[in-house]
Chains A and B, each alone.
Chain A
Amino acid sequence: ILNVEQSPQSLHVQEGDSTNFTCSFPSSNFYALHWYRWETAKSPEALFVMTLNGDEKKKGRISATLNTKEGYSYLYIKGSQPEDSATYLCAFTGTASKLTFGTGTRLQVTL
């Protein structure tokens, strides 16, 4: 059984704060790690696909790092804005092509 764990479960920050979340996953049979951003009543939106140990990806104020040897990834948001409020999901892909998701981190950014 593959366990993908995310922490914290929820997070409440003020506008302008920087924040980060953690995703831990099995370090064996690693193929890719995905981050999704999911706003209420919308489709999950792909942020990053990371495949190599040491990978760092960036999109605007959001960035992510990957450590496949120890099985974790961090997602960082710099200068949080209210529009960043969403659930952030990570998903692991091993030898099979399915995605195994964590339970997500719910971020709420207030003014």
Chain B
Amino acid sequence: DAGVTQSPTHLIKTRGQQVTLRCSPKSGHDTVSWYQQALGQGPQFIFQYYEEEERQRGNFPDRFSGHQFPNYSSELNVNALLLGDSALYLCASSLDPTTYNEQFFGPGTRLTVL
């Protein structure tokens, strides 16, 4: 079992550009959550996808959007990048959103916005 995988590992963009990050959940998992970890902070919840729908959303602007595919993989899109979007983006998967919410994390994508 490959666990949760994310791509790319690192990414450098400039202000105003758009970026797409990808996540493949752990085998058998149907729910994907995205988190942003800025320097010196804990991971902050962005949104969660289940059955190809956004179920919950954190306090992030509409520039952050996502998608979940029929195979449960997911993308995180960020438009009009700002310097403050530089962070580590973590994807987490889980089997059922109504359990104790035990989530399994990928290694993250490090985004640098110049």
Interface residues of A (CB under 8 A from B): 4, 6, 31-32, 34, 36, 41-46, 49, 51, 89, 91, 93, 96-104
Give CA–CA (A99, B106) in the complex, Å. Answer: 15
CB distance A93 to B101 under 8 Å? Answer: yes
- Which chain A positions have C-beta within 8 A of B97? 97
Cβ B101 vs Cβ A32 within 8 A: yes
> Which residues of B approach A to under 8 Å, CB–CB?
3-4, 33, 35, 40-45, 48, 55-56, 58, 90, 92, 97-98, 100-108
- Establish whether residues B101 and A99, one from each chain, have CB atoms under 8 Å apart when the complex forms: yes
Interface of B is mostly: loop
Closest to B42 in A: A101
Given known contacts A97-B56, A98-B33, A42 and B107 CB-to-CB distance under 8 angstroms: yes
Q: Which residues of A contact B108 (CB under 8 A)?
A: 43
Q: How far apart are the CA atoms of A43 and B42 in the complex, in Å? A: 14
In angstroms, Cα B4 to Cα A4, docked, is 25
The answer to whether A44 and B101 touch across the interface, beta carbons within 8 angstroms, is: no
The answer for the CA separation of A100 and B3 in the assembled complex, in Å, is 22
Given contacts A96-B56, A98-B101, A103-B41, 14 further A-B contacts (CB under 8 A): A41-B107, A43-B4, A43-B104, A43-B105, A43-B108, A44-B105, A91-B42, A97-B55, A97-B101, A98-B48, A99-B35, A99-B92, A101-B43, A103-B40
Report chain B residues within 8 Å CB of A42: 107
Q: A31 CA to B100 CA in the complex, in Å?
A: 7
Contact residues in A for B42 (Cβ distance below 8 Å): 4, 6, 89, 91, 101-104
